[in-house]
């Protein structure tokens, strides 16, 4: 049993977590480190050609048959390097090719096609998104890897992690990220995988536009007159935990993608 598990008769206040990384605030796009796992989070829209600036997810995927794949790579003077993680990205000029059928099922062949095109366009460096059907060569752009954040001493239930932070260390989320919890009688609920989070006062769920590698939400109590409330987290696979939280703080709840159906 974790030392952070709190019995029904001893509901302690959750402590403020420190951000153990070079930055001391939480930006709109970031990664959370959980042991050897990383959860990618963005409260910004995908950059796309329509928005110009936003997140770029550099997940590399290959199917079991190795005939379907996608990824993001950096091209520089004829050499390529696959990228990983999530980036804050802005593009100004690009070349895009799209096919109605698979260009090829050979990944080495698509890389040769793309690098040949970069030489034809006399491009020295670029960021390239590619898959079986299309590729985009970004010629004029800004790119910055999102920061990796880790929290000190988070509370834990199975693989669900809970950190409490000062809400002034948060960005201002877009309006479309705000959700309301479920309500049954006088209790308010939300879920992450098989973990149910409940509270006896209303709260706001701030859900990212994009997550990769797991789930992440913020629970916010802005506008609630109470100074403190009790949170209960239940799971069919784990012991119930209860803790109190000051309503001028926010809770971060994050969970790596389960390897099994239940964790």
Helices (H), 128-173: none
Percent of the chain at pLDDT > 70 equals: 94
pLDDT at position 22 is 74
Cα–Cα distance, 58 to 77 (Å, whole number): 21
182 and 239 together in one domain: yes
> C-alpha angle 164/232/189, rounded to 5°?
95
38 domain-assigned:
no
Res. 223 pLDDT band, cuts 50 70 90: confident
Res. 166 pLDDT band, cuts 50 70 90: confident
Boundary-marking domain end, from 121, 145, 169: 145
Boundary-marking domain end, from 145, 177, 197: 145
Locus of tokens 């799971």: 235
91 and 118 together in one domain: yes
* Mean pLDDT over each residue of the chain, to the nearest integer: 89
Mean pLDDT across the stretch 242-256? 93
Mean pLDDT across the stretch 89-94? 92
Q: What is the domain extent for residue 69?
A: 48-145
- DSSP codes, 82-135: E--SEEEEEEEEEEEEE-SS-S-S-HHHHHHHHHHHHHHTT-SEEEEEEESSEE
Cα–Cα distance, 245 to 221 (Å, whole number): 10
> C-alpha angle 76/77/79, rounded to 5°?
65
Model pTM?
0.86
Boundary-marking domain end, from 113, 145, 177: 145
Mean pLDDT across the stretch 106-128? 93
Cα–Cα distance, 122 to 128 (Å, whole number): 15
Domain count, the chain: 2
Res. 86 pLDDT band, cuts 50 70 90: very high
């Amino acid at each position: 049993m974790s030392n952070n598990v709190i019995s029904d008769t001893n509901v302690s206040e959750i402590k403020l977590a420190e951000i153990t990384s070079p930055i001391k605030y939480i930006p709109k796009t970031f990664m959370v480190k959980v042991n050897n796992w990383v959860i990618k989070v963005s409260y910004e829209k995908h950059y796309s050609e329509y928005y110009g600036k936003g997140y770029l997810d550099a997940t590399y995927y290959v199917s079991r048959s190795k005939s379907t794949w996608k990824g993001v790579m950096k091209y520089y003077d004829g050499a390529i390097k696959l990228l990983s993680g999530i980036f804050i990205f802005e593009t100004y000029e690009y070349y895009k090719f799209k096919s109605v059928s698979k260009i090829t099922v050979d990944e080495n062949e698509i890389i040769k096609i793309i690098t040949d095109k970069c030489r034809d366009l006399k491009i020295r460096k670029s960021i390239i998104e590619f898959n079986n059907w299309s590729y985009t060569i970004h010629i004029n752009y800004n790119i910055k890897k999102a920061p990796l954040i880790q929290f000190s001493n988070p509370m834990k239930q199975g693989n669900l992690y809970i950190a409490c932070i000062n809400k002034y260390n948060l960005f201002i989320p877009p309006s479309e990220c705000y959700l309301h919890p479920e309500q049954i009688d006088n209790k308010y609920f939300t879920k992450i995988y098989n973990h149910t989070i409940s509270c006896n006062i209303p709260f706001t769920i701030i859900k990212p536009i994009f997550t990769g590698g797991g789930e992440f939400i913020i629970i916010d109590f802005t506008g609630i007159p109470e100074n403190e409330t009790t949170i209960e987290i239940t799971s069919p696979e784990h012991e119930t935990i209860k803790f109190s939280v000051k309503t001028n703080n926010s809770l971060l709840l994050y969970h790596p993608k389960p390897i099994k159906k239940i964790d």
